Amino acid sequence: MQELTINDHGFCFHCNADLNGDWVWDIGFKKYGTEEEADKFAASFGAIKGFGRFGREIYVKGYDESYNKLPPYFKCPDCGEKCYEQN
């Protein structure tokens, strides 16, 4: 997903919660313990050391009452409101 490569996830439109999560590379480093493996992990998300972080926003796919697919959107983890739509 493209979203993973971005550096700044911004703030929730409704409650102003900070939507930035952990750095992708840091997660890889914690998980695998070496810079080399962390680089590989980050690369698989289109990120590198110092660029690219996960967002805290929740990806939601839904259907309307006639079971038509609704456009996916992102939900705020704090207030549960729609924080922004996917482009």
Per CB under 5 A, the segment of 28-36, 55-63, 65-73, 74-82 that binds Zn ion is 74-82
Note whether 76 binds Zn ion by CB under 5 A: yes
**Cα(79)–Cα(16) distance, integer angstroms:** 9
Let me know: does 43 contact 32? Beta carbons within 8 Å: no
Per CB under 5 A, the segment of 5-13, 26-34, 48-56, 58-66 that binds Zn ion is 5-13
Q: How many residues bind Zn ion (CB under 5 A)?
A: 7
Distances in whole angstroms, Cα of residue 33 to Cα of each of 21, 25, 27, 28, 36: 20, 11, 10, 8, 9
Note whether 27 binds Zn ion by CB under 5 A: no
- In this structure, which amino acid lies at residue 51? F
Note whether 14 binds Zn ion by CB under 5 A: yes
Q: Which residues bind Zn ion (CB under 5 A)?
A: 12, 14-15, 17, 76, 78-79
